[in-house]
Structure 1
């Protein structure tokens, strides 16, 4: 299945994962995972998702942070609980991270209960996102959804209406698609694109930058908003672009970029900014749950990556670099 068609079927894939994860969680008691210090880990897009998940745990009063799985392979005793994210459950680094922390309670989120990661964890939740493409779309958003449901099971109901997500997904995708002709023109042939956000949106920015690198082969990087103001943005100009996620300092930053002629796309729940100059605004629903917001915010980035991939003549082109030491054989 193509990348663009996989992105488009996320209302269905999220609905299927919602049903599957809820059914599994109904028979599990995960409350023991709520004590002590929690590390959320993964590699690649799964690490970007881990940043979002850790931020929601922090919002709910837990001591939690995200760590790349490769940084845990030395086996230092850094956590009481590990939440391990890997779409297919075969990432060598993430499996070894769990194996090197045998005293820690652990939860794996994958699409395969027989995967090496599922077998290495104390608990497992299965995704039912169906097919995925390169770059990952359904795998990323389904992982976040399952993690959000798991946190509710660990800490108690957050009041989040997860059942509304498929409908929200379709609406946000529609809004984003309406802006793509403008964004495709403004962002075509960028020499670099930065992605910027704060808190949980640091993970979204990281995930968006990976999409742009993988799909359109444009150099892209993710930055935390306040850090971005202290120098990194100085290299951005009319030949580059910036994608921003957030409702705070990101709004003024978007206007700063437009003022110097740098194309900017702002994904925000605020409604007091409109398209102007080289600034394009994509409005998304507001909400307290940072994981839900992380799922919603990535949709415009997924569609933008598809647009720029098409513009570069790279539609559904496979990765150029094949790694032999990152996946455990099926």
Structure 2
């Protein structure tokens, strides 16, 4: 699947994948009382884990996030339950992490016949179909699946059914805003992507996909850490994407006042765009992780617009590595 096709396909994929995931969850056993859960992944999946863990804790689950590489050489249990995420099921580091752990192990993957799925006790199947080389549908389907799994275990009843239509609206409404700022982002020497809470996954994945799709120099930052020094190099040669509705609102105004081309992605209604600050206002989603699904859409569109300006097709990688995926697909 081509990158722009993956962006457009997400509303329908989210709808289809949600039905598959819900069917899978019927066979996922409850957590034991007081069980500690480790969310594990690498790359885009690690970004999902970092945001999902605090959301799960807010639901009353005892959850924390680990990079798959942190488990290299581990022996014995790191948690009562390990939830490993890999869209392909072939990420070598994640498979190695599961091989090094004991206890209950669960995979979230699009491929139930993958090496990762073969290692675990239970599989949450994404059913999200083909994905683009720079992840689109697989990433957002994973976010949705992690949100649904956490709520399944917590016994909460959030209605996610509006999310596909909200994603379609986000795609349509973000396009003209991206068109209005892409030239200035193309001229920037670096793009900072900033967010906090559940939006931390948007900062991490957004910075990653801009590098992958458009070969842009980027950096991802947690909002409050950004205030403690990383802002110091800011000048008009830096562009910023600020994601969120808390301290991010003030931050977006501050960095735009420094002359940085700034894009604010938010659900907040009490803020307006101006000549220095572009605004994408998202619909209010049913949960923090559903909001993260919507937040990545403008970054995907920015990545594709930048790639197109630079004559790139976002259809593969210049520096393919032979040790990060197991087998062939």
TM-score exceeds 0.5: yes
**TM-score band w.r.t. shorter chain:** over 0.9
Does structure 1 residue 244 correspond to structure 2 residue 242?
yes
Residues 206, 223 of structure 1: 8 Å contact kept: yes
What is the TM-score when the length of structure 2 is the normalising length? Answer: 0.95
What is the TM-score when the length of structure 1 is the normalising length? Answer: 0.95
The equivalent of 1:124 in structure 2 is: 123
* Whole-Å separation in 2 of the counterparts to 1:134 and 1:238: 32
Does structure 1 residue 267 correspond to structure 2 residue 285?
no
Q: CA deviation at 1:180?
A: 1.5
* Whole-Å separation in 1 of the counterparts to 2:32 and 2:16: 25
* Whole-Å separation in 2 of the counterparts to 1:257 and 1:277: 13
* Whole-Å separation in 2 of the counterparts to 1:326 and 1:137: 19
- 1:242-281: per-residue Cα shift (whole Å, max 9, x none)? 1111111111110111111101111111112121122111
Does structure 1 residue 11 correspond to structure 2 residue 11?
yes
RMSD of equivalent CA atoms: 1.5
Q: CA deviation at 1:32?
A: 2.3
The equivalent of 2:151 in structure 1 is: 152
* Whole-Å separation in 1 of the counterparts to 2:45 and 2:32: 20
How many residues get paired?
Answer: 327
List runs of 5+ in structure 2 lacking aligned partners. none
Residues 241, 263 of structure 2: 8 Å contact kept: yes
The equivalent of 1:96 in structure 2 is: 96
Moved more, 11-20 or 313-322: 313-322
List runs of 5+ in structure 1 lacking aligned partners. none
Moved more, 68-77 or 295-304: 68-77
Match of 1:168 among 166, 169, 180: 166
Residues 1-330 of structure 1: matches in 2 within 5 Å? Answer: 1-26=1-26, 28-32=27-31, 35-76=34-75, 77-102=77-102, 104-157=103-156, 159-287=157-285, 289-330=287-328
* Whole-Å separation in 2 of the counterparts to 1:40 and 1:34: 18
